[in-house]
Amino acid sequence: MISFFAVFIGGGFGSLCRYATGLLAKMLFGNAFPLGTLFVNLLGCFAIGYLNARFERIFATQEIRNLCVAGMLGGFTTFSAFGFETMSLFRSGSNTAAILNILLNVVLGILLAYAGFCLGRK
């Protein structure tokens, strides 16, 4: 039961952080390209790599892992928003932006997950 509560608390915090990041990105850069989602996805990929590597090296209870990874990062990362925004770009005829969005999120996300994992192992 504690694990469910940990995921719940972490997910709420991660969702609030994601929402604030999206608002900030729209204020700074406008709506032409989903930069908020891109930033959240890339940061989330890095953070999940880093945290999992750190959790291999230090003792962390399953509840702490659930709070941080399943909860906070699950609430923070937004590949569902990525899918919807990419579909919307295609539907509006912005095919180049849609393809760029896919490539940046997926390729940079994988590279940053690896970078975070490597950094977390040090």
The mean pLDDT value of the chain amounts to 94
Supply the range of the domain harboring residue 117. Answer: 2-121
User: Considering its fold, how many domains does the chain have in total?
Assistant: 1
- The closest alpha carbon to 113, from 85, 73, 75, 84, belongs to 73
Q: Which long-range contacts (CB under 8 A, 24 or more apart) does 81-88 make?
A: 81/34, 81/37, 82/34, 82/37, 82/41, 85/34, 85/37
Sign of dihedral through CA atoms 27, 30, 34, 38?
Answer: negative
76, two tokens:
């923070």
**Whole-model pTM?**
0.81
Q: pLDDT tens digits for 95-121?
A: 999 999 999 999 999 999 999 999 999
